[in-house]
Each structure stands twice: as C-alpha cells, then as structure tokens.
C-alpha cells in the first residue's frame, strides 16, 4: 500500500546568476513502513527533493511541475492553511543540524507543547504526549525542563525525532539526521529510527550522502545525481547488482577496511546545474560514456523487477 | 627507526567561562606518542576527544601546560616564537575547513607567495613561478587560471588542493592533516588522500593524520592511536588495532561503521550514552559509565596505559595482569 506517491516533480531555483534545475522529473512511490534512502552528493538535489515532499521549498526555489500525493491528496495543491496542518501531523521532517532546529531560548517542553497546540492538541493531552514520546526516543523525563544548550547533539536529535513522530505522521523525512554526529551516536540514532519504523509503522525517507548507511539501513535505495534519478532498487538487489556507473562509482569510493588500495574516486566535478550538460547528466564523468550519452537523455529502464536505471548501457 | 616528533606526557588546558564562571577544561591529559620518520600515524577519536588539540600541540601552535614537544631531537616546548619561526616551515597544518584556512580577501596566488616571502625572502618573480608550479603539483591546471581567484570562487575540493599546495610549498618534513577530507564528497575524497600520499612519497614526509574515520585510517596509516576524553586509550600497528582491537572503545568505534562492521568478523561492542564533558570527566576509567564490560575497579581507579607487547598498549583494566 502506497502512502506517498511522487509524480514527475520538477524544482528550480531562480537565482541572480541563473536558473538552477535542482530536481528534474523525479517520480517514486513509498509504501507503508518502508524506509527509502535517497543517496546523493552535494548538489544532487536530494535535500531540495526532501523539502518539496513537504511543499516547503524556500525562495528563490519554485516547484514547477509534478504531484506529491499523500493519502490520495496532492499536497502541492493544498492551501497554505491546509499545508501547515499537514506538516508535522501527516508528514514531518527531521533536519541535519540538531543545533539549529530548536529555539535556544525556550525549554524543550514549551517548544514541544506549542507545536502540539498549533496542531489542535489540548494542553493536558499535550503533556502526556510529550512524556510518552520523549520516553519513546530514550530520553529521561527531566529533558522536558532543559534548554537545548544543556543537551548533547545526540539528545537534541532525539528531541527533534520525538517531535517529528509525536502526531503519528504517515511519513517522516529525515535529511542527513546523523551527519552532524559522531559515529557511535550516529549508530544509536539510526537504531532509534529503525525501532520507530517498527513500532509506529511509519514510512521513512532517509536523505543521506552515505551509500553504506543506505545499504545497511534502508529497504529501498534511490541514487540521485544532478537532480535526476540514476538508479532505484531494493537494498539487496542494489547491493548485489549495481548497474549505474555512478552508483558503482559511489560504492567504489567507500573505504574497505584494511585493503591496501585506496578506494577509487570519480574524475571531474559535479555539474553546474545552471547549465546542465546535454544528454545524460552524468556523461562528462562517466568512463563508459558513448556518443549517444552526449546528446540523448537516457530514459528510466526497468532492468529487473523494481530495479530501475537511467543509463544507455542497459537500453 | 628515527623519530621526527615526540610528545612526552603532554597536558593541555583551556579556560572557558560560562556566565562569568571560569572553568578549566583539560583537552589533553598526559599523552605521550612518537611519530617515526616517514610514517603516517593515525589519530582517531570523536569530537571532544582532544585529537585536534594534540595535533596543534605537536606543531607547537599551542604551548602545553606540562610535558614536552620534541621535534627532530630538539626540545621545542618552551622556545620563544622567534626561535621557533624558522622551524615552522618544516611543520605544516592542513585543516579540515579549507574556507577557513585561506584569508577570503586574498587571492590563491597571494596566499601561496606569502609564505615563500616570509620564510625564504624569495623574490617576487621567483615566488610567482614557484606558486604556479605548486598549483600544478596539486592538479590545479592551468595554474594561471587559479592564481587570481579568491577562495569563494573555488569548489571545496579545489580549495583543499590549494591549501595543500600552500602547506607543501615550503617543503615541510612533518604534516598534521586534521580531518582534511571530512567536508568533501565521497567521490573526490580519495583524490585528496592520494595527493597527500604522493607528497609524502616524493618529499619523504611524516604525517599525523587526524580523523574520526577509522576505516580510512586502516588504508593509509602505519600505526593508530585512539583517543577518548583527552587520553590515549589504545595504540598499535594498524593491522593489530583493526583486526584485533583491545579497548572496548576501539571495538565500539569499529562496530559503529555502517556496512563494514558486519564484514569483518569482529566482536561487537555497543556503548550507552555519549562522550562526557571534558571539563568534568568521570572518575576512574573515563569510559566506565558507558562501557558494557565495566569492572568494579574501573569506577574508582584510572587504568594505566598497559604495554601488551609488540609495541601495543591499551588503557583498560581488562588487560592488567
């Protein structure tokens, strides 16, 4: 059963120096209690896509085209009043930096309560929700009465997660939720995200630059480059059967422990999205590029069941 | 094997003040280590472990409160700046954030020419030529295209190359690389590492490589030191430390790496909670509140750094005989 369907989504930023095509025709479906990892490097459009899922792309960005259908409703067509209600209650977001998402001047309980009351929860019920969800993310009750600076990075990220799940949304979008944290805390937070997925049957969109993390944690993985989907497959299928040269390049760039050879790196730089290259957006960095790749954009091809690749090698 | 840098029982304190209350934070607590000539010594730990501070002490950018810093058999701990300055060109720092490393108002050319003029009094023309060659050496080609650009006009990877060019232009013998690739995308990370390794080979350099990425260290380092809350808790050759980690903290670090942790047949250790406050470290062993293997004595007595043979040492009561 799908909880979220994205159809042909296009997002552009209208900057002074030019029009940046951040997301170019992305479509996918998210099932109930599925964790989808969106993997990409800086400039891949993964964070913009995450924001677009909540109809929250900041200016000068604009969603040009497409649909984000949550529970049968295209939220890109929702009125500003409706969308405020939907955010946080039916689809919510956890950001990378737990140090800036919380108001430094207010106690956790006050911020949390305000958020719940804005969504129509009454005050007594709000208190019990706060207690319940702080406990669910493994925080002691006293955290309620703390200010953000009294908490560690990991604790703050737990608070953000508690707020993101408190109204039991169908979808939680987590944009690099562990990137600002140390490895051991990263693991603790990802274990927490896993347990939430199990317990509340939430669907999770994990946005990350780390292919290893995606392959370890997610159910399905979508690899993005320059605003386009390069490859999409179930985790096990992708791990055993990587097709796209970019996905393989990312995988080969991961350090393998104790091998005496360095991981490979991809030559060249990410594309300037004001002037994206014609044809396949990856062709200037691709070692398998053919003539066709320079002029013709490869379509998304289903190479096996639910495994999709945008590459002329498989066309 | 001869030594390039030796740290003896180094202690480094910082004073912080919060709401008018002064507090002493011990960022490095009695750490001794030796970096051999031609070696890459990997220093690993989480934020707050003191690894970056220790790196800067080894360059004598900080003067330690106690202990000694020996560079090429010379005690440089208490030398005045005027005497240290000529040594500075032999030791260089490559920091994590390249945008903070070069003055944003300077052009790349100016940033490269300046150290040559300060240290060698090189003529303008000669310095310009050498700066161009240095940019070529790090792959910023053609160099003329980069000389007049300012830091903001370069990508992160390009700027990190320029920072490396500037550090290397003085032909240093000792490099402290402090997380030089952690702000970069995976696809370009390796090319930066390769660049550092090529320089080391070519100019016979020794490197202290500071990182939180123990998997990366396993590929490039000769020896590894693990720091936790201002102290060195384990040290040994890279094979020993990765294949057979002894300290519960090292095991936890290895257990936390996605994907890799399940591929090496390793006893997994999971820690509770987070690294403590360096201003207020726990009594006894500093890891004891988080350690799943805690013993009674860990709570009250600090373990010594125990030599377990083959140049390995570990600061843990489990190995005390």
Residue A128: predicted pLDDT: 95
Residue B205 resides in a domain: yes
Residue A76 resides in a domain: yes
Count: domains in chain B? 2
Contacts of B211 (CB under 8 A, 6+ apart): B42, B43, B44, B179, B182, B217
Residue A111 resides in a domain: no
Question: Taking an 8 Å Cβ-Cβ cutoff, which residues of chain B contact chain A?
Answer: 46-47, 155, 157, 185-191, 193-194, 197, 212-213, 215-216, 218-220, 238-239, 242-243, 252-253, 255-260, 262-264, 270-271, 274-275
Residue B165: predicted pLDDT: 96
Nearest-CB residue to A213 (from B47, B212, B258): B258
Percent of all residues in chain A with a pLDDT value above 70, rounded to a whole number: 100
Residues B253 and B205 in one domain: yes
Tell me the per-residue pLDDT of A215-235, one tens digit each, with 9 for 90 and over: 999 999 999 999 999 999 999
Using an 8 Å CB-CB cutoff, list chain A residues near B155: 269
How many Å is the Cα radius of gyration of chain B? 21
Look at B215 and A257 and tell me if their CB atoms are within 8 Å.
yes
For residue B61, what is the domain's CATH number? 3.40.50.300
Tell me the per-residue pLDDT of A243-272, one tens digit each, with 9 for 90 and over: 999 999 999 988 888 777 888 888 888 899
ipTM, two decimals: 0.86
Count: domains in chain A? 1
Picking from B119, B146, B171, the residue at the C-terminal end of a domain is: B171
Residue B45 resides in a domain: yes
Tell me the per-residue pLDDT of B217-252, one tens digit each, with 9 for 90 and over: 999 999 999 999 999 999 999 999 998 999 999 999
Using an 8 Å CB-CB cutoff, list chain A residues near B189: 253, 263, 265
Look at A249 and B264 and tell me if their CB atoms are within 8 Å.
no
Residue B273: predicted pLDDT: 85
Residue B296 resides in a domain: yes
Residues B149 and B196 in one domain: no
Residue A264 resides in a domain: yes
Using an 8 Å CB-CB cutoff, list chain B residues near A263: 189-190, 219
Nearest-CB residue to B185 (from A41, A257, A263): A41
Residues B140 and B71 in one domain: no
Residue B195 resides in a domain: yes
Residues B77 and B208 in one domain: yes
Residue A7 resides in a domain: yes
Structural domain of A284: 2-90+169-314
For chain A, give the mean pLDDT: 93
Residues B159 and B293 in one domain: no
Nearest-CB residue to B190 (from A212, A216, A263): A263
Look at A256 and B219 and tell me if their CB atoms are within 8 Å.
yes
Using an 8 Å CB-CB cutoff, list chain A residues near B253: 183-184
Residue B264: predicted pLDDT: 67
Picking from B137, B153, B171, the residue at the C-terminal end of a domain is: B171
Look at A184 and B186 and tell me if their CB atoms are within 8 Å.
no
Closest A-chain CA to B188: A265
Residues B139 and B205 in one domain: no
For residue A39, what is the domain's CATH number? 3.40.50.300
Residues B276 and B203 in one domain: yes
Residues B124 and B197 in one domain: no
Start-to-end CA span in chain A (Å): 30
Percent of all residues in chain A with a pLDDT value above 90, rounded to a whole number: 84
Instruction: Say what the pTM is.
Output: 0.90
Nearest-CB residue to B186 (from A187, A217, A254): A254
Picking from B152, B171, B190, the residue at the C-terminal end of a domain is: B171
Residue A66: predicted pLDDT: 97
Residue B98 resides in a domain: no
Residues B7 and B62 in one domain: yes
Residue A118 resides in a domain: no
Interface test with B, best of A255, A266, A272 (most B CBs within 10 A): A255
Tell me the per-residue pLDDT of A125-183, one tens digit each, with 9 for 90 and over: 999 999 999 999 999 989 999 999 889 888 999 999 999 999 999 999 999 999 888 88
Residue B76 resides in a domain: yes
The whole-angstrom distance between B321's CA and the closest CA on chain A is 30
Q: Rounded to whole angstroms, what are the CA distances from A114 to A110, A119, A152? A: 6, 9, 22
Q: Is the pLDDT assigned to residue A188 strictly greater than 70?
A: yes
Using an 8 Å CB-CB cutoff, list chain A residues near B187: 41, 249-250, 253, 265-266
Residue B40 resides in a domain: yes
Closest A-chain CA to B240: A258
Nearest-CB residue to A184 (from B191, B239, B253): B253
Structural domain of B136: 104-171
Using an 8 Å CB-CB cutoff, list chain A residues near B248: none
Residues B188 and B50 in one domain: yes
Q: Is the pLDDT assigned to residue A279 strictly greater than 70?
A: yes
Residue A98 resides in a domain: no
DSSP letters for chain A: -EEEEEEEEEEEEEETTEEEEEEEEEEEEEETT-EEEEE--TTSSHHHHHHHTTT-PPTTEEEEEEEEEETTEEGGGS-HHHHHHHBTTTEEEE-S-HHHHS-TTS-HHHHHHHHHHHTT--HHHHHHHHHHHHHHTT--GGGGG--GGGS-HHHHHHHHHHHHHTT--SEEEEESTTTTS-HHHHHHHHHHHHHHHHHH--EEEEEES-HHHHHHH-SEEEEEETTEEEEEEEHHHHHH---SHHHHHHHHTSPPTT-SSPPP---S----TTSPPSSSTTGGG-TT--HHHHHSPPPPEEEETTEEE--GGG-
Residues B215 and B304 in one domain: yes
Using an 8 Å CB-CB cutoff, list chain A residues near B216: 255
Nearest-CB residue to B274 (from A152, A190, A250): A152
Residues B177 and B152 in one domain: no
Tell whether omega for the bond before B179 is within 30 degrees of 0, i.e. cis: no
Nearest-CB residue to B155 (from A250, A254, A269): A269
Residue B99 resides in a domain: no
Low-confidence ranges of chain B (pLDDT < 70): 261-264
Residue A95 resides in a domain: no
């Amino acid at each position: 059963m799908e909880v979220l369907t994205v159809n042909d989504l296009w997002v552009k930023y209208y900057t002074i120096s030019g029009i940046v095509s951040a997301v170019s025709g992305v479509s996918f479906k998210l099932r109930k209690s599925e964790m989808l990892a969106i993997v990409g490097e800086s400039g891949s459009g993964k964070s913009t896509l995450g924001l677009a899922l909540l109809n929250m792309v900041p200016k000068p960005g604009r969603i040009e085209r497409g649909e984000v259908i949550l529970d049968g409703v295209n939220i890109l067509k929702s009125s500003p009043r409706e969308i405020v209600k939907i955010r946080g209650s039916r689809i919510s977001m956890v950001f990378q930096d737990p140090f800036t998402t919380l108001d430094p001047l207010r106690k956790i309980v006050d911020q949390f309560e305000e958020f719940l009351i804005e969504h129509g929860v009454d005050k007594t019920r709000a208190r019990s929700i706060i207690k319940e969800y702080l406990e669910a993310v493994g925080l002691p009750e006293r955290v309620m009465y703390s200010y953000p600076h009294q908490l560690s990075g990991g604790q703050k990220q737990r608070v953000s997660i508690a707020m993101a799940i408190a109204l039991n949304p169908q979808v939680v979008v987590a944009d690099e939720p562990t990137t600002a944290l140390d490895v051991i805390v990263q693991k603790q937070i990802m274990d927490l995200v896993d347990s939430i997925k199990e317990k509340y049957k939430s669907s999770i969109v994990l946005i990350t630059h780390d292919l290893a993390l995606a392959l370890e944690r997610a159910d399905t993985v979508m690899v993005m480059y320059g605003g386009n989907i390069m490859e999409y497959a179930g985790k096990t299928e992708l791990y055993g059967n990587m097709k796209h040269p970019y996905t393989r390049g990312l995988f080969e760039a991961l350090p393998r422990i104790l091998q005496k050879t360095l991981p490979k790196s991809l030559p060249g730089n990410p594309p300037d999205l004001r002037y994206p290259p014609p044809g396949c957006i990856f062709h200037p960095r691709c070692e398998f590029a053919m003539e066709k790749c320079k002029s013709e954009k490869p379509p998304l091809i289903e190479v096996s069941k639910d495994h999709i690749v945008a590459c002329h090698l498989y066309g | 094997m001869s030594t390039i840098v030796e740290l003896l029982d180094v202690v480094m304190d910082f004073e912080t003040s919060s709401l008018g209350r002064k507090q002493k934070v011990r960022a490095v607590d009695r750490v001794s280590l030796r970096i051999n000539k031609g070696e890459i010594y990997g220093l690993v730990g989480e934020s707050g472990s003191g690894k970056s501070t220790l790196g800067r002490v080894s360059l004598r950018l900080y003067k330690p409160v106690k202990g000694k810093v020996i560079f090429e058999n010379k005690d440089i701990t208490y030398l005045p700046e005027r005497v240290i300055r000529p040594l500075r060109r032999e030791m260089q720092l490559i920091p994590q954030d390249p945008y903070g490393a070069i003055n944003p108002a300077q052009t790349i050319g100016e940033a490269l020419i300046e150290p040559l003029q300060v240290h060698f009094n090189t003529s303008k023309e000669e310095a310009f030529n050498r700066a161009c060659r240095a940019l070529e050496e790090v792959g910023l080609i053609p160099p003329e295209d980069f000389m007049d650009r300012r830091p903001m006009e370069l990508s992160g990877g390009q700027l990190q190359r320029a920072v490396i060019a500037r550090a290397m232009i003085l032909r240093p013998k000792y490099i402290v690389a402090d997380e030089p690739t952690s702000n970069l995308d995976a696809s370009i990370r390796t090319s930066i590492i390769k660049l550092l390794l090529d320089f080391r080979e070519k100019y016979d350099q020794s490197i202290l490589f500071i990182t939180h990425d123990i998997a990366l260290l396993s590929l490039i380092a000769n020896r590894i030191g693990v720091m936790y809350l201002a102290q060195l808790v384990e040290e040994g050759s890279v094979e020993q430390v990765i294949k057979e980690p002894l300290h519960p903290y090292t095991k936890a670090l290895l257990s936390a790496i996605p994907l890799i942790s399940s591929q090496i047949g390793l006893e997994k250790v999971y820690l509770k909670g987070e690294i403590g406050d360096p201003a207020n470290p726990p009594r006894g062993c500093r890891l004891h509140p988080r350690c799943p293997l805690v013993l009674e004595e860990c709570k009250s007595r600090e373990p010594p750094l125990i030599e377990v043979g083959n140049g390995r040492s570990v600061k843990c009561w489990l190995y005390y005989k």
